[in-house]
Amino acid sequence: MAKQCTRLLVCTKGKHCSANDGPSVLKKLRRTIERCELDQFFKVKKSGCLGYCRYAPVISVESYGFYYGKVRESDCQEIIERHLAKKKPLKRLLLPSKKSK
């Protein structure tokens, strides 16, 4: 049975994320997914500002409705592995919900 595709939005167009490695994180996520041949499990899209500018660069795990902030290229492999296995979100990068921020 095919796994559901997880959608990741990477803020690359917002002012803060574009100046704080958003584009590099996007590239790293895409490269990791391609290298591991996981294209059928993940879709990675560029995004405008996601409303968490002070945590730049920011990723939205759109499929699950949560956000990661201050993401580094070195976090990308772990994010992919975590969501491929459908484990709980990475707490150290998880941002507060928009209602409580």
Is 61 among the residues that bind ligand FES (CB under 6 A)?
no
Alpha helices, DSSP H only, in 36-98?
76-84
- Of 7, 91, 12, 5, the residue nearest 58 (C-alpha): 12
In the list 8, 14, 71, 80, the residue contacting ligand FES (rule: CB under 6 A) is: 14
Choice between 36 and 94, CB closer to ligand FES: 94
Element (H, E) at 18: helix 15-19
Site string for ligand FES, 35-54 (x = CB under 6 A): --------------xxxxx-
Is 56 among the residues that bind ligand FES (CB under 6 A)?
yes
